Amino acid sequence: METCIFCRIIRRDTPASVVFEDEEILAFMDIQPVNPGHVLVIPKRHWASLSDIAPEAFARVSAVSQKVAAALRRSGIRCEAVNLILADGEAAGQEVFHLHMHVIPRFAGDGFGFQFNPGYAQLPERRELDECARRIHSAMTSIPRP
């Protein structure tokens, strides 16, 4: 992908501060960090979304993200907790359409967080949950097993 910024980073056409690299994965510092130490973990192969990526490649992204999170806690960078965030699609906040996991160090009072909609505290009826579960389960039967 010629125009993908992450593919350009992988090819070294664009600079990055690399944290980890192997044959399949690249992890580097986010240039617009939520907090110091914010790392992006990406597959070297271009997959735009979670539905595109091979399960074994996603497992590798997850494993490296876990290792980065553990390293953040030992690094001396302020890190009381960690968020792993994968935005899958524009409505979810994905801005670069090359799958990537954000590994974000967190600490009390850092100002970052999730904003819930006004109806969040209102619990749905069990029948609504059951219907959603039925629909998702039904859709899953047509998806090949990972």
Token output for 146:
């990972």
Phi, psi of 135 (to 5 degrees): -65, -40
Q: For residue range 3-62, what is the model confidence (pLDDT) as tens digits?
A: 999 999 999 999 999 999 999 999 999 999 999 999 999 999 999 999 999 999 999 999
Report d(CA 115, CA 7) in Å as an integer.
Answer: 31
Task: Tell me which of 38, 98, 100, 102 is the catalytic residue.
Answer: 100
CA pseudo-torsion sign 84, 88, 90, 92:
negative
3-state percent helix, strand, coil for the chain, nearest multiple of 5: 30, 15, 55
Count of residues in the chain: 146
Tell me the pTM: 0.92
Catalytic residue flag (residue 102): no
